[in-house]
Structure 1
Amino acid sequence: MLSRKRQTGGDVAFDWFNIATMLLVCFATLYPIWYVLVNSFNEGKDAMSGGNIYWVPRVFSFENYSTVFKNDGIMLAMWITVAKTILGTVIHVFFTAMVAFAYSRKELIGRNFYMIVGTITMFFGGGLIPTYLWFRDLHLLDTFSVYIYPAMFSFFDLIIFLAFFREIPDGLEEAAKIDGAGYFATFVKIVLPISMPVVATIALFHGVWQWNDYFTGLLFINDPDLQPIQTFLYRVIAQSSSNQIVGTVGGAINRTVTSQSIKLATMVITTFPIVIAYPFLQKYFVKGLMIGSIKG
């Protein structure tokens, strides 16, 4: 049997230092989330008057969440967010993968030129005003399409797809050609099904971005019925008057809630779905980042 290497005093001290450092980092990362959660379940007036609520609610109450859910606007905003996240992610993954498959073809004319142009777009953009004018000319302002069409393609995601596609054996595509399959059929029936790890990775990337995106709704949407939940949350937090916030969210002023408690409850509601989904997809996230980094 192999004997375990004996650790010196310095090694033990270094291990304990690493453990203590990581515990401190974990605490600094997780405690703010716990603080928001605890205070969102505490009665708003009590939290404002008493303060010092750090670990458990002092006066437990669901009134903050009840006040938020009584408002039809937040539920509509939640549905808009869910719809744009699902639809936008599916379209983005399929379209970006399809373009990446075309880039991976050696017979593609001008492939190197397209790669240069695409790489430039990763570092330089047109700016906010040209983007706004472009969306206006395309009649995307105040439409649901503004969440979908501009986000259909990402060159960064294309590079990840491209690294994966280059590792697919040529024999699979040659067999598909012998059976009479064209490029699109080969992509849909052969390439895409065996690319689920990278598909899940890009879906996670873009899905998290779609869910957290408030900037698009803030700049390009004026219709309150089309704003996503993150834009709704931003506008709630941006309110300056306590009564104005509670009136906006709850529809009527409630004496047990405050602007701060409404903010915290809304933050928990908007972040809860993505926090729950992320751990289940993390393994694909890590695997996707490693794609193409090691060649066998």
Structure 2
Amino acid sequence: MLTRKQLSTGDKIFDAANVIGMLVLCFVTLYPIWYVLVNSLNDGQDAMRGGIYWLPRKFSLDNYEAVFANAGIMTAMGVTAAKTVIGVVCHVFFTAMVAYAFSRRELIGRKFYMMMGTVTLFFGGGLIPTFLLIRDLGLLDKFAVYIIPSLFSFFDLIIFLAFFREIPDGLEEAARIDGANDLAIFVRIIIPVSMPVVATIALFHGVWQWNDYFTGMIYINNPDLQPIQTFLYRVVAQSSSNQIVASVGPGINRTVTSQSIKLATMVVTTLPIVFVYPFLQKYFVKGLMIGSIKG
């Protein structure tokens, strides 16, 4: 390996350019998040003056008190948490089960199924046919609309399939000798040894479920069933940026602005998934490498 002194001038310039480029990219990526956080921690009326870029000028938690005092926001948070947890469990189990069947060489018509699944990666039915299908299935204004249509993903199946093909056949043969059937092998052997790819798909789908606002906007009219992202979308779409809100909830008489409430709501909805991601990142990277190399 070349030491720093052995590098040519061109290599040093290239390395310096890479470092500067990455620093600029990190700043461009992270600063908007910092800007939202700083302004959400500032007094709403004071923030209307502008000029807050790095630190709060007049620190205040009134915006967050207003957010948590709103019963609609808390209900939406509960819906989002429930659909994320239930959706991830159901999606991972169902997709893994189908992928395990695809990994069996004795599956009749496997090549045809793979071809049909590949087509779905490039072509979709469109919004109107999908809406009509959801309506005919009786899923409009039902919590199940967050779960059933997203049970399966062929892209996730490819990642599962690549991992399952790396599992030694001896594990399954030993289980069959002990009398285990396919379901028992899948639940007791395949899933436990596949935790890296399970965590990867769980993170994929969990982030999607948490950030999904479109499903609640199109298929849900009941305000008690809308997720937090749909709630935030409607707040951003309907309120003006400098509107002053004098009454934010029972027992809270402080004055905040709609803009400051929007920023605080954005922070509250983003932080949970941000905290979860670092714990699953190593599995996420490993799973992606498996899917890209072996798929």
Q: Structure 2-normalised TM-score?
A: 0.94
After TM superposition, give the deviation of residue 115 of structure 1 in Å. 0.6
Corresponding position of 2:201: 202
CA–CA separation in structure 2 for the residues paired with 1:24 and 1:242? 29
CA–CA separation in structure 2 for the residues paired with 1:72 and 1:204? 28
* % same residue: 74
After TM superposition, give the deviation of residue 18 of structure 1 in Å. 1.3
CA–CA separation in structure 2 for the residues paired with 1:245 and 1:129? 39
Corresponding position of 2:6: 6
1:23 and 2:23 matched: yes
1:286 and 2:285 matched: yes
CA–CA separation in structure 2 for the residues paired with 1:109 and 1:3? 55
Corresponding position of 1:139: 138
Corresponding position of 1:60: 59
Corresponding position of 1:44: 44
> Deviations along 1:160-182, whole A, 9 cap, x unmatched?
00000111111111111111111
Aligned length: 293
Corresponding position of 2:122: 123
Task: Identify if the C-alpha distance between structure 1 residues 38 and 244 changes in structure 2 by more than 3 Å, giving closer, same or farther.
Answer: closer
Q: Structure 1-normalised TM-score?
A: 0.94
Q: Is the 2:246–2:256 contact (alpha carbons within 8 Å) kept by the matching residues of 1?
A: no
Q: Is the 2:245–2:255 contact (alpha carbons within 8 Å) kept by the matching residues of 1?
A: no
Moved more, 8-17 or 251-260: 251-260
Task: Identify if the C-alpha distance between structure 1 residues 210 and 246 changes in structure 2 by more than 3 Å, giving closer, same or farther.
Answer: farther
Gaps of 5+ in 2: none
After TM superposition, give the deviation of residue 292 of structure 1 in Å. 4.8
After TM superposition, give the deviation of residue 63 of structure 1 in Å. 0.6
Task: Identify if the C-alpha distance between structure 1 residues 246 and 9 changes in structure 2 by more than 3 Å, giving closer, same or farther.
Answer: same
After TM superposition, give the deviation of residue 256 of structure 1 in Å. 2.9
After TM superposition, give the deviation of residue 133 of structure 1 in Å. 1.0
> Deviations along 1:177-234, whole A, 9 cap, x unmatched?
1111111111111111100000000000000000000000000000000000000100
Q: Counterparts of 1:1-296 in structure 2 under 5 Å?
A: 4=3, 6-48=6-48, 50-241=49-240, 246=245, 250=249, 256-294=255-293
CA–CA separation in structure 2 for the residues paired with 1:147 and 1:99? 20
Q: Partner amino acid for 1:289? A: L
Q: Partner amino acid for 1:157? A: D
Q: Partner amino acid for 1:200? A: A
